[in-house]
Amino acid sequence: MLQGKTAVVTGSTSGIGLGIAEALAREGCHVALNSYTDTDEDQAIAARLSADHGIKAHYIQADMGKPGDCMRLVETAAADLGPVQILVNNAGIQHVEKIEAFPPEKWDAIIAINLSSSFHTIRAAVPGLKAAGWGRIINIASTHGLHASPFKSAYVAAKHGLVGLTKTVALELAEFGATCNAICPGYVKTPLVEGQIADQMEAHGLDREAVIRNVMLERQPTKQFAEIDQLAALAVFLCSDAAAQMTGQPVSVDGGWVAL
């Protein structure tokens, strides 16, 4: 049922975004890939998805920290690939620092990229979803959209805001055949996290298993990372007819973290 629909996935040259873009391509969606960079590698990812899945995949450079770029992403995707019916707001950055030392420019960047970009892309996409009478918006929030941790003020504020935005958009779209949900991952095994394991082993003088269990996954009851493929499968489900009555939900994939 997703065959031939156009999906935009922000921040999709690596990690969770790339996993979701690939899963949607596997379902037959045309996909607009995005990041703020403009490299041969970015274009190569689009070419690979297109060749592997027989769909149209375009890489569109756009900085999700800039409102005009957010709107241009949606407009260009629609012009290149057809009306945008699936929007996955995934681009995100992090900075960890105690609040009195937190650089104001990092606060602004995190709020812009992790929260405001979703407002701008949704604002640009909603008229098309309403006109089509069908749409799916998925915002990649975090357990930090529901729970706080110290030293992550901007990230926690942005992700809580994103969950609030998700609920509001869901209500506004409720009678238009379009849903808006948030996925709230706990710790996910991305290339970035994989790199952090080695750093933490050195910093704490612990072996890999101890770092994963006692440092990184201290608050994740299963003591296992969520996997990119699990998040991608959930995103595909949220796009399916089976999820038509799920809207305004923060859906956790966190090994039980929010049950604590």
Q: Cβ 134 to ligand NAD, closest distance in Å? A: 25
Q: Cβ 224 to ligand NAD, closest distance in Å? A: 12
Q: Is 230 in the site for ligand NAD (CB under 6 A)?
A: no
Rounded Cα–Cα distance for residues 170 and 184 (Å): 16
| CA separation, residue 223 to residues 192, 193, 206, 215, 231 (Å) | 18, 15, 16, 10, 17
User: How does 156-189 read in b/e, with b if 16+ C-beta sit within 10 Å?
Assistant: bbbbbbbbebbbebbeebeeeebbbbbbbbbbbb
Q: Residues 9, 55, 57, 113: which binds ligand NAD (CB under 6 A)?
A: 113
Binding track over 57-96 against ligand NAD, x by CB under 6 A: ------xxx------------------------xxxx---
Q: Is 15 in the site for ligand NAD (CB under 6 A)?
A: yes
| CA separation, residue 4 to residues 22, 26, 31, 72, 240 (Å) | 14, 11, 10, 21, 14
Q: Residues 192, 198, 242, 260: which binds ligand NAD (CB under 6 A)?
A: 192
Rounded Cα–Cα distance for residues 127 and 125 (Å): 6
Question: Which residue number, 78 or 113, has a Cβ lying nearer to ligand NAD?
Answer: 113
Q: At which residue do the structure tokens 């923060």 appear?
A: 250
Q: Cβ 1 to ligand NAD, closest distance in Å? A: 26
Q: Cβ 61 to ligand NAD, closest distance in Å? A: 9
Q: Is 252 in the site for ligand NAD (CB under 6 A)?
A: no
Q: Cβ 176 to ligand NAD, closest distance in Å? A: 26
Residue type for position 55: I
Encoded tokens for 249? 């939900």
Establish whether 59 is a catalytic residue: no
Q: Is 255 in the site for ligand NAD (CB under 6 A)?
A: no
User: How does 11-20 read in b/e, with b if 16+ C-beta sit within 10 Å?
Assistant: bbbebbbbbb
Q: What residues are annotated to the active site?
A: 155
Residues engaged in binding ligand NAD (CB under 6 A): 10-17, 34-36, 63-65, 90-93, 113, 140, 142, 185, 187-188, 190, 192-193
